[in-house]
Structure 1
Amino acid sequence: MKYLFLFLFGSLLLINCTNPADTTTAHSYFDLKGFIEKQTTELNKRRPLVNKEMTLGDQNEKTQTNDIDWQRELELFNQADLNKQAYQLSYTISQPNATTYLYVLKSGENLPVKTLKIEVDEISKQPKLIEALMEEQNRLYDSEKRLQLTCTLRPEGVWLVKTYEISGFQHLSITDRKTFSVKGTIN
């Protein structure tokens, strides 16, 4: 009886610890999170050489490395995924052509992802281009992040990230606006 109580109590704790905003249902939108997770796994296996350029304000740094934590590096692309329960029915979906999907936040909605554009390959339906605009505003803070990721078909038949870029600004009401960008090109 004691073990049954512990099992039930533990199960209830686990159930109550899920974040409803992160809970996904059937995918209403492109599964960006799943795509980025697959890319992260593949990039961690391959450990490719990356030419990386980082800018913060007027400071610029260029580096070439294969020592990258891809989960952290592509985290903002995961955050742009629209398949969260809180996001359901919040976006208009249009398809300007056969290979482009455009998701735009509906008027009156207040979510960080304002737009998400995905261009897929005609044959494989794998993403060739992903672009997103994320904005947050409140009385103390505002920020904007523009994300762009391109993929290419590798000679061995695998679609893999070729370039990624994150740029934007952060502004606290008591400080100056700080611009930033990170650009990576995978060799």
Structure 2
Amino acid sequence: MLIFRFSFLIVLLACLQACTPAVQENAKPVFYPWEKYLTAQIDSLSKHPQSVHKTILLDGKKEEKQLSTIDWKQEWAMFLHADLNKPAAATSYDNLSEDGFVWYSLKSNENLAVKKLYIQLDALDRPAKVEIEIEEKNFLFETHKKLNMNFVDGRVQTYSIDGSQQMRWMSPTHYQLMGVLLPK
């Protein structure tokens, strides 16, 4: 009798798995190649360094710096992580794009960190302005980030990150980072 139940359970599980839609591992999302574009900007800045004027506000305290050496991959890590071209995101976003701009908005029934990716394009279909909204929530903390980047002739000119983090047992932290790439 036990063998019969075990065999029945295996058959039932096999049937259920056969009825479950398979996730295509090789499915290629069709989102704008944001990460590729930004990686090309990072590579260009690594080969042809450019100074940046940074302003940082942390809970109302302001600090300004002019830096000639920067690790751009680290500096723009939040922007890079907002890439939607991952299999998990393939069906998670509504495409609201039209001529001249790319706009992806997270579907209401999905739970991913990137809520919105908006890219205004120039006449050559290069980014002119990028806006990204990120929210993460779990038992310990809640974060909100708004990322912006402005381009001129296909090259980053300014970028900013405006965010807050609320730890469950602490008061919220607010921060802003603004960077302006200086002419060579």
Tell me which interval the TM-score lies in, with the shorter structure as reference length.
0.7 to 0.9
Deviation of the 1:24 alpha carbon: 7.7
Q: Segments of 4+ in structure 1 off by > 3 A? A: none
Q: Which residue of 2 aligns with 1:69?
A: 71
Seq. identity, % = 30
Deviation of the 1:26 alpha carbon: 2.6
Q: What is the alpha-carbon distance in structure 2 between the residues aligned to residue 66 and residue 83 of structure 1?
A: 32
Deviation per CA, 1:50-108, whole angstroms, max 9, x where unpaired?
1110111122100111111000001111111100111111000012x410111000011
Question: Which of residues 72, 90, 93 in structure 2 aligns to 1:91?
Answer: 93
Say whether the 8 Å CA contact 1:25–1:83 is kept in structure 2: no
TM-score with structure 2 length normalisation?
0.82
Number of corresponding residues:
158
Return 5+ residue gaps in structure 1 as ranges: 1-22, 154-158
Return 5+ residue gaps in structure 2 as ranges: 1-24
Change (3 A) 1:85 1:128: same
Q: What is the alpha-carbon distance in structure 2 between the residues aligned to residue 27 and residue 35 of structure 1?
A: 16
1:19-98 superposed matches below 5 A? 25-95=27-97, 97-98=98-99
Q: What is the alpha-carbon distance in structure 2 between the residues aligned to residue 83 and residue 25 of structure 1?
A: 10
Deviation of the 1:120 alpha carbon: 0.8
Change (3 A) 1:24 1:55: farther
Say whether the 8 Å CA contact 2:106–2:116 is kept in structure 1: yes
Q: Which residue of 1 aligns with 2:13?
A: none
Deviation of the 1:27 alpha carbon: 4.0
Kindly indicate whether residue 145 of structure 2 is the aligned counterpart of residue 117 of structure 1. Answer: no
Q: Which residue of 2 aligns with 1:14?
A: none
Say whether the 8 Å CA contact 2:29–2:87 is kept in structure 1: no
Change (3 A) 1:164 1:25: farther
Deviation per CA, 1:133-165, whole angstroms, max 9, x where unpaired?
000011210000100001111xxxxx2100000
RMSD: 1.4
Kindly indicate whether residue 156 of structure 2 is the aligned counterpart of residue 161 of structure 1. Answer: yes
Kindly indicate whether residue 168 of structure 2 is the aligned counterpart of residue 180 of structure 1. Answer: no
Say whether the 8 Å CA contact 2:28–2:87 is kept in structure 1: no
User: Rg bigger for which structure?
Assistant: 2
